[in-house]
Structures are given as structure tokens and as C-alpha cells.
Chains A and B, each alone.
Chain A
Amino acid sequence: MSIDNPLTRDEDVSETEAYEASSSNIERLAKYSTKTTIFILAVITGFPLYYLLIASTYPEGQLIAFPPNFLPSTGLVQNYTTLFMETIFLQTFLNSIIYAGGTTIGMLVLSAPAGYALAKIDFRGSKLMLFVILILMAIPFQLMSIPLFKMVVDWNLINTHFGAIVTSITIPIAVFFVKQNAEQVLHDDLLDSARVNGASEFQVFKNVVIPMLWPALVAISMYIFITRMQSYYWPLIVLRDDSVMVAQVWISIWEGGIETPTPFHRILPASVVIVMPLLLTFLVGQKYFVKGLTGGSIKG
């Protein structure tokens, strides 16, 4: 009785009642406000995606009408067939895939060995390397883009896939991500036992490290592919020619003027074609994607 334990101390009855009343009020408030919030946010995030799909089916000039439409229209077949048959969209879309895919592969070739070496091999200068990588992550690409543009022009790589890809594959955050994962996944014992059994460093890398790092490599590849399919700034600068232009740039360069209204019946189906594969990739590998974005910096 005399022990002053806050959990067992008798409270004033009215106080307890008051607490419970206010607590249940707050509980109810929390419940309804949460449900409202989640619903409103879902409408906000989902609506543009829905409207994009719907709007892509409207024939020329009928999209912007009063009252606004929310249901599919009749232009579906015609819009999409015209897009593929009569415009260069398909070519630009393939260019996008070449750019994003090439960048992803190049990124893997550079980052996987580098990330592993930084995580698991204790060599002179490893701390410095890591510091430099962190600095590189912080410097805006726009600053580098001006000298880089001059380099690309001087080396005659402008308007080539190779030029655009080779200037994009150095991605410090990818190295950092691989390093974080290698630290968690690879154990020194395993690597040492492979070495003692006579495997060369290259064999260790190929036969032990790569298979164990595979999930992390898939995660970062997916993240880089999706973001590079969306990249706009650098492709706009170095891939200007029709034959190498990426889809993002193609849909953005339509001039909407007073006499020629923006051809939404071309742009919107093209947008849908760009978004759909990314949406599917994202749905299949959502967990990987989230990991790639948070860079292994947060667990969960």
C-alpha cells in the first residue's frame, strides 16, 4: 500500500473517468481523421493517373469541353494506332529504352565491383574514396553538365546513344547502395574460406559475391531504370536529333500556340505508353524499388 508505484497508485475516480472519456474521444477522433485522410490522399494521388488513362481516349479537340468528362471516349483505337503508325513515337520510345537500359547496365558494371571493394576489402585510401563518393553525390549534375556538354561535343559524341549513356553511368549513389548491402550480406568467413580454397580474387567476386549480392543488384537496377526512363534534362541536351531523341523529349516539344492547339490526342496516348511499363515494373518489384530509393539507409 505504501509503495508509490505510479501504475498501482489509486487515482481519483473522477480523474480516471475524465481521462478515459477524453481518451476515447481522442481515439474516435484519431480513427475517423485517419480514415478521412487516407481516402482523400488516395483520391489526390490516384486521380491524375486515372484521368491520364481516360483522357488518352479522346479524339482530337474533344478533350477540353464543358462539362468535363470522366469516362472513356471513342478515340481509343484511332489515337493509339495513329500514334504508332504515323509518328516517330515508337522510335523515340525505343530510344528511351536504349538510354535507360544502357545506363543501367553500365551502372552495374561500374558499381557492383566498386561497392564490394569498398565494403569488404581493407585497403589504403578506402575511407578517402568513400568521402569522395559522398561529395560527388552532393554536387548538382547541372553544374557538371556544362563542361560535360562541351566534352561530348568535342569528342563528336553528341546525338549518339553511346555519348548519352557513357556520360550517365557514373552514379555514386549506386556504389553507396551496393556497399551498404555488401556490408550486411557478405561475411568475411565465407570470402576467406573461398580464398583459402584457392579461389582468385576475381573468382571470389564472380562465384561468391555476385550471387549473394544479386537481390541488391536487382533493386538498384530497377530503381535506376525507372528513374532514367523519366530523365529529361540530360537527354534533352545531348539527344536532340529525331533519330536518337527519347520519348520524354518528344512529348514535350510540341508547340502549343494560339493557332495550333497542343495535340493532346498524340501526347496523352504516348504518355500512357511510357507510364504503363514503368507502372508494371513498379508493381512487380515494389519492395526492391523502395529499397533502391532509400539507398539502404533506412531499415524496414
Chain B
Amino acid sequence: MATPSRGSPSVESSTSRFTKLKRLLRYDETLSAYWLLLPFIVAAVIFKGWPTIWAPWMAMQEFSLRGSEFIGLANFQSLIERNIFWQSLRATALISLIRVPIAVLLGLAGALAVNSVFVKYRGIWRTLYIAPIVIAPVIIAILARIFLEPQGLIDVVSTALIGVQISWLNSPLPAQITVAIAGAYIDSAICFIFFLAGLVGIDYDLYRAAKVDGANRLQQFRHVTIPQLRPIIALVLVFETNRSLKMFAIPQVLTNGGQPGGATRTLVVLLYEQAFVELKLGFAAAIGVALTAIITVLIVIEYRYISE
């Protein structure tokens, strides 16, 4: 027979044992968290963290067959002085200025159309619009080349329309436009996915309320869709600018790494050439640092500007 006076301490001891157990479990949990994270941390330190820290250091060195030599900021100095970097920066900027708006607007138009009430069989349209994603940039570049070669499809059409044959891949501006559009083709699908996800997420009650207030479709679009989509637009712009500045496969394949005369040599193509063709690792690392700085600054500005 247990008496009440003996009961309470045993309850107390069992609760304290329970908290102890819990603490032990929590300790176990914390320890296990580190164990679960360990593989990723180790890999991230070796293959991401270390190279990221090492790259600026490499940019301050000159590499040759005998080894490396510390040369301070000389690589950055030659970056500023050499025309090749500025030309590449201009090319990247110009191509991005064409590519980003086209990709974003195509994606937005597609998403609005597919999400519209007038459209049937949305699944099919959606699949069709996302499909370009499975065509790799290299293959897009090859297709573009077929269309643009003399007697190619676009060449024939443009010659018939204008009356003058444009040598698409051999003159600077047409080549830049081509590279931009080929990139925009794939990226429009990516923008489309983001926009469609954003549009589907808009609360339908907002449209109903707008309708009750007498807003027509245009006004609904202006006062409901656009404000609601604003964060997604910011996200897509940031994402797309980032992709566009790092463009590599299309100029590398379509215009043989920057032809004609470097007009389509983007920053990453230049980095690739310097690092892996000419093996000037230090100079290439300096380009990499510059690229990172440019991307960071642009994205911060863009994000600030749009989200406010």
C-alpha cells in the first residue's frame, strides 16, 4: 500500500529523471545534427569555401611552369588597362540588356496567357512552354547556327524581307543580338515557371473584389496582378540577370567563343579562355573576382530598387 506521503517524491524523481532524459536526448540531438551536417560541411569547405577564398589570392599571383609568384594587384591593374576586359564587359552588358527583357517579357506573357480564363487545356500549353528547358544551351546554339548560316531559314527570311543579306554571325551587332535571343529562348521558360507559380498563388478573392468595385480586366491587371506579382518579378529579374551575366555555352558554341572579333566574348568566355586555354590562372582569377563583384552589386541594386 503506497501512502500519499511517499508518492510525491517518487513522482518528483521521475519527472526529474524525465527532464534529465530529455536533456540527454537534446544533447544527442545536437550532436547528431553535427553528424548529419558533417558530410556536407566537409565537402562545402573543400569544394566551395576553400576555392572561394583562394581565388582572390590567386588573382594576386602570376602562374608559370615553374610555379607561382606574388605580384600584388598587378593583375587587377592590367585588367583595367587592357582593352580586352572592357570590350568583354561591354559585350556582356549589351547582350544582357537585350536578353533579360526579352526572356522576362516572354515568360510573363506566356504565364499570363496560360493562367487566363479564356484558355482551355492549360496543361498542354504549360508543358509546351516549359519544354525548351530540356534543350541544352549547346543544342540551342547549334540550332541557331543552322538557322543563321547562309541559306539557313532565318537568313533566307531576313534576306527576303530586307533585301540585303545580313551576315548574322560575322558582323558584331547581329551576332550579339543572336546570342542574346538564343539565351532568352531557354530562359523565357524558366521565367515562365516562376511567373506561373506566382500567378496561381494570387488570391482569387482580390479579383472578385476588384470586379465588384467595377474594375475591368485592364484595371484588374493593373491594380491586382502587377502589385501581387511584384516580389516574383523582383525574384525573376535577379535570377535572370545572374544567369545572363554568367552566360557561357551559347557564345562559346554559337560564335566560337566570341567571334566576330570579340563582339560576343562575354566575361565568362574571356575567363575560360584566359584560364583554361592560355593558362593565365592569375589574370583569369582577377576576372572572376571582378565578375563576382559586378554580379553582387547589380543584384543588390536591382533587389533594393524593385522590392521597395
Given A146-B285, A298-B201, A205 contacting B134 (CB threshold 8 A): no
* Cross-interface CB contact of B55 among A31, A143, A169, A298, cutoff 8 Å: A143
B200, CB-defined interface residue at 8 Å = yes
A224, CB-defined interface residue at 8 Å = no
Inter-subunit contact A170/B113 (CB<8 Å): no
Closest Cβ of chain B: how far from A227's Cβ, in Å?
9
Closest Cβ of chain A: how far from B95's Cβ, in Å?
16
A262, CB-defined interface residue at 8 Å = yes
B216-237 CB contacts (< 8 Å) to partner A: 216-218, 232, 235
B69, CB-defined interface residue at 8 Å = no
Contacts of B48 in A (CB 8 A): 136, 139, 144, 170, 172
Which of A47-55, A75-83, A213-221 forms contacts with chain B?
Answer: A47-55
Inter-subunit contact B125/A123 (CB<8 Å): no
* Cross-interface CB contact of B128 among A46, A145, A264, A289, cutoff 8 Å: A46
Inter-subunit contact B51/A290 (CB<8 Å): no
B183-226 CB contacts (< 8 Å) to partner A: 185, 188-190, 193-194, 196-198, 200-201, 212-214, 216-218
Number of A-B pairs, beta carbon distance below 8 Å? 281
Inter-subunit contact B125/A42 (CB<8 Å): yes
* Cross-interface CB contact of B288 among A31, A63, A146, A233, cutoff 8 Å: A146
Inter-subunit contact A146/B246 (CB<8 Å): no
A239, CB-defined interface residue at 8 Å = no
Count the A residues whose beta carbon is within 8 Å of the partner chain — how many? 102
Given A114-B37, A251-B139, A294-B193, A26 contacting B216 (CB threshold 8 A): yes
**Which residue of chain B has the shortest Cβ distance to A261 in the bound complex?**
B149
Contacts of A35 in B (CB 8 A): 118-119
| B128-162 interface bits toward A, Cβ cutoff 8 Å, 1 = contact, 0 = none | 11111111111111110110011111001000000
Which of B8-16, B86-94, B171-179, B271-279 forms contacts with chain A?
Answer: B271-279
B85-132 CB contacts (< 8 Å) to partner A: 106, 109-110, 112-114, 116, 118-119, 125-132
Q: Please report the C-alpha to C-alpha distance between residue A202 and residue B112 in the assembled complex, in whole angstroms.
A: 46
Q: Please report the C-alpha to C-alpha distance between residue A113 and residue B42 in the assembled complex, in whole angstroms.
A: 13
Inter-subunit contact A126/B193 (CB<8 Å): no
B292, CB-defined interface residue at 8 Å = yes
Q: Please report the C-alpha to C-alpha distance between residue A81 and residue B133 in the assembled complex, in whole angstroms.
A: 27
Inter-subunit contact B214/A41 (CB<8 Å): no
Given A262-B145, A282-B130, A19 contacting B214 (CB threshold 8 A): yes
Count the B residues whose beta carbon is within 8 Å of the partner chain — how many? 99
Closest Cβ of chain B: how far from A48's Cβ, in Å?
5
A2, CB-defined interface residue at 8 Å = no
Interface of A is mostly: helix
Q: Which of B's residues lie within 8 Å of A, judged by CB?
A: 25, 28-30, 32-37, 39-41, 43-44, 47-52, 54-55, 58, 106, 109-110, 112-114, 116, 118-119, 125-143, 145-146, 149-153, 156, 185, 188-190, 193-194, 196-198, 200-201, 212-214, 216-218, 232, 235, 246, 248-249, 252-253, 268, 271-272, 275-276, 281, 284-285, 288-289, 291-292, 295-296, 299
Besides A45-B189, A143-B285, A256-B145, 18 more A-B contacts (Cβ < 8 Å) are A26-B216, A34-B112, A41-B129, A44-B106, A45-B128, A49-B135, A114-B37, A142-B268, A172-B48, A195-B25, A229-B136, A230-B136, A230-B137, A237-B276, A268-B142, A279-B131, A282-B133, A293-B190
Q: Could you name 25 residue pairs across A and B whose Cβ atoms are closer than 8 Å?
A: A35-B119, A37-B109, A38-B119, A64-B146, A111-B40, A113-B36, A121-B32, A122-B29, A123-B33, A132-B44, A133-B44, A141-B246, A142-B291, A143-B52, A146-B284, A150-B281, A151-B51, A167-B47, A201-B29, A230-B138, A251-B142, A286-B130, A294-B193, A298-B197, A298-B201
